[in-house]
Chains A and B, each alone.
Chain A
């Protein structure tokens, strides 16, 4: 008997929505085995990883807090990914957003700018900076045909060096005992807290609003439709006169703007100042969130919560099990592997025929 993959007449919607669940379960099974192999009690480890972090009200708030940047960035990235525009430099665009928004907060200082003016201004500055950073690969792609994957990624390193230079040099807090960090932002530059005694702030609402906007754009706007066509059938899109140049610009700028917003959210939220690193890799994790969420705003919102749980679990595993928190990255990669593997069943099904292999 021989088993082979047979193309489905049309992609299976059921399989498309089931694969993220299958991938998540498979990742947990792998976690079980890995923890066991490391000599930890796997049940206790999984409890520490997935249950304990969200067993309290504070934990739930942390879950949503960390889901916010992931949700924001992945929503923006997915707009490009649907059109085969591969912006993988969101980490750098986030950094630029934090620099611009944080820079504004530092420049204003304790001048009497009310919060309702300063915070929106910071978000606008951050989104603009993220877009400007994303515009570089977009321009290089449309003008010079340069691969946006490589150029956007190179700019991540440039952005992180730029931030490092700022907090080591011109923006260093003169009273900060020589630590590479800026002054703390003033209270009027900090996002309001949503739930008392937690760190969950208004950026979460902004994230939800962006998800809703993206949903409308993708499902109800003709440009969203055209970008999907361009991703699914580039030749047909070209024949129909859909401009690839416009798709590249829109896709990159949407990703840059959202990542910039996320950067401001981090700076004016849980961090409250500029540090040499403003994100534990949210810009890269958001790539996985976008795929696990099927490039769909609703799916992305759910996937961002799952990925946020992996971050919290990593921290909890470090405290409770003495495992390096890098275990988070391991789980993230495994999740995406399983998703990609399971995705084969969206377009193919297994068929078995009798007889020897040909």
Chain B
């Protein structure tokens, strides 16, 4: 494998957890709901997938469980923020804190367990092609799944009637309600989808990327995913660009260390967080553009008459 191919493969893998989590949150926010619990849902997805993968020796069962666990946690958010009309910011924060605690609690016995992670696909013939073989046909299966998710989310939001309804609910829940759509029901589905995606992102980390369970192993990726949605001005294709940019920043840190850059590992590890702050500031600077692109009812509870 030559170096460029390797960098592409590694960057895609590093960006994939962000792709899952940010695409899910994008759909949630398009419906007008702000769920700040992404970090918690990712961690719960990660620990659930790891435990199941360790017990059943099936990474795929683990990944499925991770998605379900993320969705289950997001249901708590939905009940509080949608049915009981709690403050979305506070509820989302509670979800993250709870998810961090829950994952640390149930994951404790699995801290030093070793599992066999997911293998990259290998398609006889295609994967062995020179140059493009490894570039196109040698990623992990979940990397392909994340790309498929992007296509689906993009088509759903821009080409389907259901996607149009979802966006209408996010822009003007009153109007959507007036023409007969079940605003709360639609928002429930969006939140559950977002939870499942965050769970998938966590599962990818725990059973494919690392593979291991470490407390707090998402290391802020849930929060970076939230920033990515703003960075992407709520457009799926820009989420992809952002996720891979951050993937490459994460890698640059390891590459620099390997290349013997005379900076300590702690200072280099600050890079993704500082980059998030800088990028967020640059994008948010244009307040008018944010207002234009953000779903109009984002974060506001909806009270049916």
What does the 1/0 interface line of B231-270 toward A look like (CB < 8 Å)? 0000000000000000000000000000000001011011
Q: A145-B290, A146-B281 are in contact. Are A337 and B270 (CB under 8 A)?
A: no
Q: Is A115 an interface residue (CB 8 A)?
A: no
Closest to A7 in B: B303
Q: Is B207 an interface residue (CB 8 A)?
A: no
Q: Within the assembled complex, what's the spacing in Å between the Cα atoms of A262 and B115?
A: 41
Query: Which residues of chain A are near B290, meaning CB under 8 Å?
Result: 145
A329 adjacent to B281 (CB under 8 Å): no
Minimum CB–CB distance for B213 against chain A, Å: 13
**Cβ-neighbour of A145 out of B97, B264, B285 (below 8 A):** B285
Q: Is B101 an interface residue (CB 8 A)?
A: yes
Q: A157-B219, A157-B220, A343-B86 are in contact. Are A150 and B227 (CB under 8 A)?
A: yes
Q: Within the assembled complex, what's the spacing in Å between the Cα atoms of A146 and B95?
A: 23
Q: Is B292 an interface residue (CB 8 A)?
A: no
A291 adjacent to B80 (CB under 8 Å): no
Minimum CB–CB distance for A147 against chain B, Å: 7
Minimum CB–CB distance for B233 against chain A, Å: 13
What does the 1/0 interface line of B58-93 toward A look like (CB < 8 Å)? 000000000000000000100110001111011101
Q: Within the assembled complex, what's the spacing in Å between the Cα atoms of A155 and B280?
A: 13
Q: A154-B220, A326-B101, A333-B97 are in contact. Are A161 and B266 (CB under 8 A)?
A: yes
Q: Is A184 an interface residue (CB 8 A)?
A: no
B94 adjacent to A340 (CB under 8 Å): yes
Query: Which residues of chain B are near A164, meaning CB under 8 Å?
Result: 266
Q: A145-B290, A288-B97 are in contact. Are A161 and B270 (CB under 8 A)?
A: yes
Q: Is B100 an interface residue (CB 8 A)?
A: yes
Tell me the number of A-to-B contacts counted with CB atoms below 8 Å. 137
B84 adjacent to A344 (CB under 8 Å): yes
B281 adjacent to A336 (CB under 8 Å): no
Query: Which residues of chain B are near A343, meaning CB under 8 Å?
Result: 84, 86
Q: Within the assembled complex, what's the spacing in Å between the Cα atoms of A287 and B36?
A: 14
Query: Which residues of chain B are near A7, meaning CB under 8 Å?
Result: 303
Q: Is A273 an interface residue (CB 8 A)?
A: no
A329 adjacent to B94 (CB under 8 Å): no
Query: Which residues of chain A are near B273, meaning CB under 8 Å?
Result: 154-155, 157-158
Query: Which residues of chain A are near B98, meaning CB under 8 Å?
Result: 329-330, 332-334, 336-337
Minimum CB–CB distance for A197 against chain B, Å: 32
Closest to B103 in A: A326
Query: Which residues of chain B are near A95, meaning CB under 8 Å?
Result: none
A340 adjacent to B84 (CB under 8 Å): yes
Query: Which residues of chain B are near A333, meaning CB under 8 Å?
Result: 94-95, 97-102
Closest to B111 in A: A324
Q: Is A169 an interface residue (CB 8 A)?
A: yes
Minimum CB–CB distance for A15 against chain B, Å: 13
A165 adjacent to B94 (CB under 8 Å): no
Q: A291-B90, A340-B90, A344-B85 are in contact. Are A328 and B101 (CB under 8 A)?
A: yes
Query: Which residues of chain A are near B91, meaning CB under 8 Å?
Result: 340
Query: Which residues of chain B are near A151, meaning CB under 8 Å?
Result: 277, 280-281
Q: Within the assembled complex, what's the spacing in Å between the Cα atoms of A149 and B39?
A: 13
**Cβ-neighbour of A165 out of B85, B87, B266 (below 8 A):** B266
A154 adjacent to B276 (CB under 8 Å): yes
Minimum CB–CB distance for B288 against chain A, Å: 10
Main secondary structure of the interface of B (DSSP, over half): helix
Question: How many residues on A have C-beta within 8 angstroms of the other chain's C-beta atoms?
Answer: 46
Q: Is B274 an interface residue (CB 8 A)?
A: yes
Closest to A160 in B: B266
Minimum CB–CB distance for A101 against chain B, Å: 20
Minimum CB–CB distance for A161 against chain B, Å: 5
Minimum CB–CB distance for B100 against chain A, Å: 6
**Cβ-neighbour of A337 out of B76, B104, B281 (below 8 A):** B76
Q: Is B287 an interface residue (CB 8 A)?
A: yes
B270 adjacent to A336 (CB under 8 Å): no
What does the 1/0 interface line of A295-339 toward B look like (CB < 8 Å)? 000000000000000000000000000001011111111101100
Q: Within the assembled complex, what's the spacing in Å between the Cα atoms of A347 and B301?
A: 13
Query: Which residues of chain A are near B230, meaning CB under 8 Å?
Result: 147, 150
Q: Within the assembled complex, what's the spacing in Å between the Cα atoms of A169 and B220?
A: 24
Q: Is B57 an interface residue (CB 8 A)?
A: no
Minimum CB–CB distance for B106 against chain A, Å: 9
Q: Within the assembled complex, what's the spacing in Å between the Cα atoms of A340 and B87?
A: 8
Minimum CB–CB distance for A47 against chain B, Å: 20
Query: Which residues of chain B are near A88, meaning CB under 8 Å?
Result: 93
Query: Which residues of chain A are near B226, meaning CB under 8 Å?
Result: 150
Query: Which residues of chain B are near A340, meaning CB under 8 Å?
Result: 80, 84, 86-87, 90-91, 94
CB-contacts of A121-174 with B (<8 A): 136, 140, 144-147, 149-151, 153-155, 157-158, 161-162, 164-165, 168-169
What does the 1/0 interface line of B276-299 toward A look like (CB < 8 Å)? 110011101101001000000000
17 other contacts beyond A86-B89, A146-B281, A333-B98, with CB at 8 A cut-off? A136-B277, A144-B284, A153-B220, A157-B270, A165-B266, A169-B264, A287-B97, A326-B104, A330-B98, A332-B97, A332-B101, A333-B100, A336-B97, A340-B94, A341-B79, A341-B80, A341-B84
Instruction: Sort A-B residue pairs by CB-CB distance and give the 7 closest, nearest first.
Output: A329-B101, A333-B98, A326-B104, A165-B266, A340-B86, A336-B94, A144-B281
Question: Would you mind naming 28 contact pairs between A and B with Cβ atoms under 8 Å apart?
Answer: A88-B93, A144-B282, A145-B285, A145-B290, A147-B227, A150-B223, A154-B227, A154-B274, A155-B277, A158-B274, A161-B267, A164-B266, A284-B97, A288-B97, A326-B104, A327-B101, A331-B101, A332-B101, A333-B97, A333-B102, A336-B93, A337-B76, A337-B80, A337-B94, A340-B86, A340-B90, A341-B80, A343-B86
